Amino acid sequence: MNIRRSVWVTLLASNAGMVIGFLSSLVLARLLTPADIGAFSIAVVLVNLVAVFRDLGTQSYLVQRRTLDSQDLGAALGLTLFTGALLALALLAASGPFARWYGQHEIQQVLWVLTASFLLVPYVNVLAASLSRELMAGRSATIGLIGTLVHAAVAIGTAWVGAAHLAPAWANLANLGVTVLLSALLAPAARNLRPRLGGWGEPLRFGTGATAEHLLQVAQQSIPDLVLGKTAGTHEVGLFSRAAGLVGLLQQALQPTIQYTAGPVLARSHHADQPLGPLLAQGACLVTAVAWPALALMALFAAPLIGLLYGPVWLPAAPLVAWLALSAAARLPWALAAKGLHGIGRPGLAALAVGANVLARGAVLLAFAHGGLQQFAMLLALADLLALTVTVALARRHLGYGLRQALRANAGSAAVALACAGAAWGAWQASGAAGLPAGLAAIAAVAAALGGWWAAARAVGHPALAELQRLRPGAQSSRA
């Protein structure tokens, strides 16, 4: 598949999946309590920590290899199945003490359900890597969308009948089961895929750095839930998770594209001795053109968005959104840096960048006593900004992507974001002054945001416009 087509197919499919997940979350917000979400979130923290040692960077290892055959795939599958089975037993043994430490027996119940995923994920990772390597975006999109629909249906159905904190866990397990079945049907590599007991040396060597990075990523993501769960309670964890989930909608939309396309493209460019700096600048420019305006709108309209979408019980989460959006926006110009470091075979350097963030967050948490959720979010954003300096330095030295290059590449996106947010805020205020109903005011703000984005993108000549124009019917034939 053409690289550009692969990007757009993955982006459209991931956005469709995000919409499905988002609509599902709206329903679940009215069926589950913050305590239900909090118990599930805390259990997921432990599962993610243990899963780091199960996955061993399998997908990155398979994607970055210069050549790949069924023996390589079988070795990776055998290794991760073996580690997955051992770790599943360890997780079952640890579930009781972990739940008692938090004083929440619901956490143990969630862990029992999620442990079954350890025997399914190895198949998902290996087959997903084989599809990504060949840029089979259409098949991957089909698998992902069907899995998302199953997840939404099971989550809502089980929550409706009273599964409470277990509803998201059953949905996760159903999603993985369907994904394995569809991957076995649609991935060509599945025909000859058999677990191997040999050939584990090379994936283990690569997996050391990748596992360190993944472990640190889990620690980075888990710090808020773990600290709030211990110092405040599951209610506060639920509120923080809701704010982080709203901001994380962008990651859900963009991450599959980055994961699916950026890794193979950067690895191939590295093997062909092509410079990676221009590719990283181009990719960041396109990502920020969409993400920065969206983050600005989330920060400005956090309260009405959360109130409208999730209900008034979640409104205390609204003040957290601005700080989380600021952190996400600052890191976006370097969103592809980790994939670049994996592409050149240096996952340990990517782990170094994440480790700096973990240390910064840990240091900041020492200053957090009981100052409230908003102060907590502000301190986390400060820690993320401080740690970003390490990523910037690594990208400049090893990928040829420096700070000046990043600023030049994303200056147009900054102008587009300001124009988009300013137009939306102005329309919202004008609609309120005119006494329009909230629904009409929201429509006016959305229309103004789109108009501001388009006008600013044209004014600065943003490359995102050229990408959009290529999607027009007949665009390919007219260039031919």
**Residue 203 carries which side chain, given as an amino acid letter?**
P
The pTM of this model reads 0.68
Nearest-angstrom CA–CA distance, 425 and 126: 46
Nearest-angstrom CA–CA distance, 230 and 103: 10
Q: How many CB atoms lie within 10 A of CB 1?
A: 15
Block residue for tokens 């990651």: 251
More confident residue, 409 or 7: 409
Q: Which of 128, 159, 146, 143 is nearest to 55 (CA)?
A: 128
Nearest-angstrom CA–CA distance, 228 and 136: 41
Q: Which of 359, 374, 262 is nearest to 318 (CA)?
A: 374
pLDDT given at position 256: 65
Q: Tell me: the pLDDT tens digits for 104-144?
A: 788 889 999 998 888 888 888 888 878 777 767 678 778 88
For range 346-375, the mean pLDDT: 80
pLDDT band at 478 (very low <50, low <70, confident <90, very high): very low
pLDDT(475) > 70: no
pLDDT given at position 417: 96
Q: Tell me: the pLDDT tens digits for 439-466?
A: 888 899 999 999 999 999 999 999 988 8
Nearest-angstrom CA–CA distance, 397 and 337: 11
Residues in the chain, total? 480
Min mean pLDDT across 26-40, 64-78, 207-221, 305-319 is at 207-221
Min mean pLDDT across 124-133, 169-178, 405-414, 469-478 is at 469-478
pLDDT(404) > 70: yes
pLDDT given at position 6: 63
3-state secondary structure the chain: CCHHHHHHHHHHHHHHHHHHHHHHHHHHHHHCCHHHHHHHHHHHHHHHHHHHHHHCCHHHHHHHCCCCCHHHHHHHHHHHHHHHHHHHHHHHHHHHHHHHHHCCHHHHHHHHHHHHHHHCHHHHHHHHHHHHHCCCHHHHHHHHHHHHHHHHHHHHHHHHCCCHHHHHHHHHHHHHHHHHHHHHHHCHHHHHCCCCCCCCHHHHHHHHHHHHHHHHHHHHHHHHHHHHHHHCCHHHHHHHHHHHHHHHHHHHHHHHHHHHHHHHHHHHHHHCCCCCHHHHHHHHHHHHHHHHHHHHHHHHCHHHHHHHHHCHHHHHHHHHHHHHHHHHHHHHHHCCHHHHHHHCCCHHHHHHHHHHHHHHHHHHHHCCCCCCHHHHHHHHHHHHHHHHHHHHHHHHHHHCCCHHHHHHHHHHHHHHHHHHHHHHHHHHHHHHHCCCCHHHHHHHHHHHHHHHHHHHHHHHCCHHHHHHHCCCCCHHHHHC
